[in-house]
C-alpha cells in the first residue's frame, strides 16, 4: 500500500534502517533541521524520491509564533538556501501553482514579497553599489489556465535569461496533518513530475533545465485518501485483523473520508488562508536574505515587491 507524500522526511520513516539513505538532525531551540540524503537509485525508487539532498525545517505553530522564533527560522532558511546555490550569477525564482486556489497559492504568495533586482542592475542606486545580486522572478501559472506546461514555459525563459540557478517554490502534499504549514522542505533535486498540490506533469530539475534547481516547498494539504489508508493499515495491524475479512467496513471508511465523487478531498486547517500568507512571507524573507547578505532588513523592505503587487 503506497502512501503519497512530497516530503522526503516522511518517506524516511519507512526506510530508516535501509541502505542508500542517510539522515541526521540538528536542533535549534524549537526549530528542527532534518537532513535526508537519498544516495542510491535503489533507495530513490523505493522512496519515490530523486537522488539528492532534502532538508526540512520544522517549527511550532505559525499562528502563535514569537518574533524571536521567526527571525531564527528566517536565518536558518537563508543559510540553507545560500549553501545550495552558486555564489555568483543571476537567480531565477519560479512561483508555481494557482494564485486563486488557496492550497496551491504558495508560489505566488512568495513572489509577492520577493526583492527582484535584475532590471535595476544598470540604474545608479547610491549606497547599494556592489550589494545587489541579480534576481528575477516569474509565476508561470498552471496548465489548466495557460494551456502551457510549466516546464515548457520555464525552459523557454531559462534559455533567454541564462540564470546560474533556479529556485522553484511549490505547495506540497504531506502524509501527516501536523506538517501542514509547519514544515519547509528545501531540496537540490528540483520538482518531481506528479508532485505538489497541482500535480506537475513534468519535472523541473537540472536535467530538464540545464542549471541547478533548488525546490522550496511547504505542505498545504494531506489527501484524505492518504490518511484513511495509512490509519487503516495501522489499525488492522494493531488489532491483528485480516483486512480481507472486513472489506465492507474499510470501503465505508475510505469512501467517507476520501471520495465524494467531486475530485480529490484534502484535509487542511480551517485557517489555511491565513497560514499560507504567513509562511509565504517567511520564505520570501529567507530568499531575500540568502541572496542579499549585505542589505539590512529595511533596505530589503523598501526594494521588495510588496508595494507593486
CB closer to its own copies, 52 vs 140: 140
Window of 44-52, 77-85, 252-260, 285-293 that interacts with its own copies by CB under 8 A: 252-260
Instruction: Give the residue ranges of DSSP H helices in 53-149.
Output: 67-84, 106-111, 143-146
Report the 10 Å Cβ neighbour count for 18.
13
CB closer to its own copies, 130 vs 144: 144
Q: Which of 28, 37, 131, 155 binds its own copies (CB under 8 A)?
A: 155
Among residue numbers 189 through 208, which ones bind its own copies (CB under 8 A)?
Answer: 197
Q: Does 127 bind its own copies (CB under 8 A)?
A: no
Helix (H, G, I), strand (E, B), or coil: what is residue 82?
helix
Please state the closest distance from residue 43 (CB atom) to its own copies, in A: 26
Q: Does 3 bind its own copies (CB under 8 A)?
A: no
Q: Does 31 bind its own copies (CB under 8 A)?
A: no
**How big is the site for its own copies, counted in residues (CB under 8 A)?**
90
Please state the closest distance from residue 53 (CB atom) to its own copies, in A: 27
Q: Which of 146, 194, 210, 294 binds its own copies (CB under 8 A)?
A: 146
CB 166 within 8 A of CB 153: no
Q: Which of 13, 207, 243, 271 binds its own copies (CB under 8 A)?
A: 271
Report the 10 Å Cβ neighbour count for 149.
15
The helix-helix angle for 224-238 and 247-258 (nearest 10°) equals 150
Among 207, 68, 63, 85, CA closest to 135: 85
The order of strands in the sheet holding 135-138 is 21-28, 31-38, 52-58, 183-187, 213-223, 165-174, 91-95, 135-138
Rounded distance, CA 16 to CA 5, Å? 16
The vertex-199 CA angle with 48 and 82, nearest 5°, equals 70
Q: Which of 42, 159, 207, 293 binds its own copies (CB under 8 A)?
A: 159
CB closer to its own copies, 32 vs 149: 149
Retrieve residue 82's grid coordinates: 545560500
Among residue numbers 49 through 108, which ones bind its own copies (CB under 8 A)?
Answer: 61, 63, 67, 98, 100-104
Rounded distance, CA 183 to CA 205, Å? 22
Q: Which of 180, 204, 214, 218 binds its own copies (CB under 8 A)?
A: 180
Rounded distance, CA 97 to CA 103, Å? 9
CB closer to its own copies, 18 vs 256: 256
CB closer to its own copies, 130 vs 263: 263
Could you report how far apart the first and last alpha carbons of the chain are, in Å?
A: 44
Among residue numbers 280 through 299, which ones bind its own copies (CB under 8 A)?
Answer: 298
Q: Does 125 bind its own copies (CB under 8 A)?
A: no
What does R_g of the chain's alpha carbons equal in angstroms?
A: 20
Q: Does 217 bind its own copies (CB under 8 A)?
A: no
Window of 7-15, 46-54, 122-130, 246-254 that interacts with its own copies by CB under 8 A: 246-254
CB closer to its own copies, 6 vs 104: 104
Compute CA 138 distance to the chain's CA centroid, rounded to the nearest angstrom: 16
Q: Does 140 bind its own copies (CB under 8 A)?
A: yes
CB closer to its own copies, 111 vs 287: 111
Amino acid at each position: 500500500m503506497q502512501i503519497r507524500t512530497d516530503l522526503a522526511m516522511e518517506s524516511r520513516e519507512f526506510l530508516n534502517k535501509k541502505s542508500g539513505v542517510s539522515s541526521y538532525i540538528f536542533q535549534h531551540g524549537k526549530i528542527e533541521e532534518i537532513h535526508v540524503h537519498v544516495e542510491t537509485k535503489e533507495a530513490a525508487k523505493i522512496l519515490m524520491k530523486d537522488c539528492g539532498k532534502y532538508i526540512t525545517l520544522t517549527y511550532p505553530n505559525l499562528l502563535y509564533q514569537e518574533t524571536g522564533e521567526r527571525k531564527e527560522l528566517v536565518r536558518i532558511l537563508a543559510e540553507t538556501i545560500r549553501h545550495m546555490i552558486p555564489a555568483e550569477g543571476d537567480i531565477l525564482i519560479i512561483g508555481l501553482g494557482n494564485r486563486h486556489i488557496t492550497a496551491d497559492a504558495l508560489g505566488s504568495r512568495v513572489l509577492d514579497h520577493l526583492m527582484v533586482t535584475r532590471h535595476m542592475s544598470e540604474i545608479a542606486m547610491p549606497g547599494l553599489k556592489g550589494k545587489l545580486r541579480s534576481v528575477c522572478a516569474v509565476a508561470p501559472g498552471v496548465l489548466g489556465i495557460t494551456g502551457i506546461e510549466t516546464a515548457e514555459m520555464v525552459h523557454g525563459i531559462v534559455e533567454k535569461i541564462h540564470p546560474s540557478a533556479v529556485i522553484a517554490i511549490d505547495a506540497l502534499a504531506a502524509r501527516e496533518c501536523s506538517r501542514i504549514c509547519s514544515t519547509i522542505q528545501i531540496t537540490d533535486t528540483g520538482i518531481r513530475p506528479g508532485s505538489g498540490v497541482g500535480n506537475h506533469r513534468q519535472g523541473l530539475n537540472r536535467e530538464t533545465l540545464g542549471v541547478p534547481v533548488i525546490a522550496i516547498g511547504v505542505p498545504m494539504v494531506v489527501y484524505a485518501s492518504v490518511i484513511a489508508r495509512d490509519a487503516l493499515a495501522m489499525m488492522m495491524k494493531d488489532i491483528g485483523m485480516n483486512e480481507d475479512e472486513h472489506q465492507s467496513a474499510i470501503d465505508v471508511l475510505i469512501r467517507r473520508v476520501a471520495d465524494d465523487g467531486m475530485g480529490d478531498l484534502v484535509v487542511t486547517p480551517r485557517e489555511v488562508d491565513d497560514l499560507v500568507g504567513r509562511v509565504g512571507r517567511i520564505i520570501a524573507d529567507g530568499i531575500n536574505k540568502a541572496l542579499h547578505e549585505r542589505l539590512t532588513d529595511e533596505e530589503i523592505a523598501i526594494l521588495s515587491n510588496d508595494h507593486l503587487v
